[in-house]
Structure 1
Amino acid sequence: MPEMLASYVAGSWYTAPDAGVVVVDAATAEPVARVSSQGLDTRAVVEHARRVGGPALRRMSFQERAAALKTLAAHLDSKKSEYYELSAATGATRRDSAVDIDGGIATTFVFSSVGKRELPEGNILGDGDAVAMGKEGTFVGRHVYTALPGAALQINAFNFPVWGMLEKLAPAVLAGMPSIVKPATPTAYVTAAVVRDIVASGALPEGAVQLVCGGLGDLLDHFGGQDLIAFTGSASTASMLRGHAAVTTRATRFNAETDSLNCSILGPDAGPGTEEFGLFVKEVAREMTVKAGQKCTAIRRAFVPQPLVDDAISALRERLDRVVVGNPRSESVTMGALVSLHQRDEVRGAVDALRRSAQLVS
Structure 2
Amino acid sequence: MAQHDRFYIDGAWVAPDEVRLLDVIDPATEEPFTRIALGNARDVDRAVEAARRAFPSYARTTRQERLELLESILAIYRRRSDDIAEAVSREMGAPLTLARSAQAAAGLSHLTRIIKVLKTYEFDEVVEAALVTREPIGVCGLITPWNWPLNQIACKVGPALAAGCTMVLKPSEVSPISALVFAEVMHEAGVPAGVFNLVNGDGPTVGHAIASHPGIDMVSFTGSTRAGIQVAKAAADTVKRVAQELGGKSPFIVLDDGDIEAALSTCTRICFRNSGQSCNAPTRLLVPESMQDKAIDIARRLAESQIVGDPRDEATTMGPVVSEIQFNRIQDLIAKGIAEGARLITGGTGRPTGLNRGYYVRPTVFADVRNDMTIAREEIFGPVISILPYRTEEEAIAIANDTAYGLSSHVVSADVERARRVARQIRAGMVHLNGAAGTNAAPFGGYKQSGNGREWGRYGLEEFLEIKSIFGYSATT
Q: TM-score, normalised by structure 2?
A: 0.67
How far off its partner does 1:186 sit? 1.0
Query: What is aligned with 2:102?
Result: 99
1:359 equivalent among 343, 349, 353:
343
Aligned residues of 1:73 and 1:106 also touching (Cα < 8 A): no
**C-alpha distance in 1, partners of 2:286/2:121?**
41
Distance 1:187 1:210, change over 3 A: same
How far off its partner does 1:95 sit? 4.0
Query: What is aligned with 1:205?
Result: 192
Query: What is aligned with 1:320?
Result: 303
Query: What is aligned with 1:146?
Result: 135
SS in structure 1 opposite 2:344?
A: coil
Aligned residues of 2:7 and 2:198 also touching (Cα < 8 A): yes
Q: How many residues align?
A: 337
- Tell me whether 103-112 or 33-42 shows the greater mean CA deviation: 33-42
**C-alpha distance in 1, partners of 2:139/2:121?**
24
Q: CA RMSD in A?
A: 1.8
SS in structure 2 opposite 1:243?
A: helix
Query: What is aligned with 2:112?
Result: 109
The AA in structure 2 aligned to 1:155 is: I
- Tell me whether 72-81 or 39-48 shows the greater mean CA deviation: 39-48
Query: What is aligned with 1:137?
Result: none
How far off its partner does 1:100 sit? 1.8
Query: What is aligned with 1:176?
Result: 164
**C-alpha distance in 2, partners of 1:356/1:127?**
59
How far off its partner does 1:130 sit? 4.7
Query: 1:111-159 CA deviation, whole Å, 9 max, x = no partner?
Result: 011111234xxxxx2133451xxxxxxxxx32222223x3111101111
Matched, 1:230 2:220: yes
How far off its partner does 1:194 sit? 1.4
SS in structure 1 opposite 2:321?
A: coil
**C-alpha distance in 2, partners of 1:5/1:296?**
30
* Equivalences for residues 74-85 of structure 1 within 5 A: 74-85=75-86
How far off its partner does 1:284 sit? 1.7
Aligned residues of 1:67 and 1:112 also touching (Cα < 8 A): no
Query: 1:250-307 CA deviation, whole Å, 9 max, x = no partner?
Result: 211111111112111112223xxxxx22221111211222110101111120011111
SS in structure 2 opposite 1:27?
A: coil
Query: What is aligned with 1:334?
Result: 317
Query: What is aligned with 1:122?
Result: none
The AA in structure 2 aligned to 1:143 is: V
* Equivalences for residues 20-59 of structure 1 within 5 A: 20-38=21-39, 40-52=42-54, 54-59=55-60
Matched, 1:159 2:147: yes
Aligned residues of 1:232 and 1:258 also touching (Cα < 8 A): yes
The AA in structure 1 aligned to 2:273 is: V
**Runs of 5+ unmatched residues, structure 2:** 347-477
**C-alpha distance in 1, partners of 2:39/2:133?**
41
- Tell me whether 160-169 or 110-119 shows the greater mean CA deviation: 110-119
Aligned residues of 2:94 and 2:320 also touching (Cα < 8 A): yes
How far off its partner does 1:37 sit? 2.7
Aligned residues of 1:50 and 1:151 also touching (Cα < 8 A): yes
**C-alpha distance in 2, partners of 1:212/1:38?**
6
**C-alpha distance in 1, partners of 2:71/2:128?**
33
Aligned residues of 1:28 and 1:327 also touching (Cα < 8 A): no
**C-alpha distance in 1, partners of 2:305/2:212?**
51
**Runs of 5+ unmatched residues, structure 1:** 120-124, 132-140, 271-275
Query: What is aligned with 2:121?
Result: 118
Query: What is aligned with 1:258?
Result: 246
SS in structure 1 opposite 2:257?
A: coil
Aligned residues of 1:179 and 1:208 also touching (Cα < 8 A): yes
Question: Identity over aligned residues, as a percent?
Answer: 25
Query: What is aligned with 1:71?
Result: 72
SS in structure 1 opposite 2:3?
A: coil
SS in structure 2 opposite 1:325?
A: coil
**C-alpha distance in 1, partners of 2:43/2:252?**
47
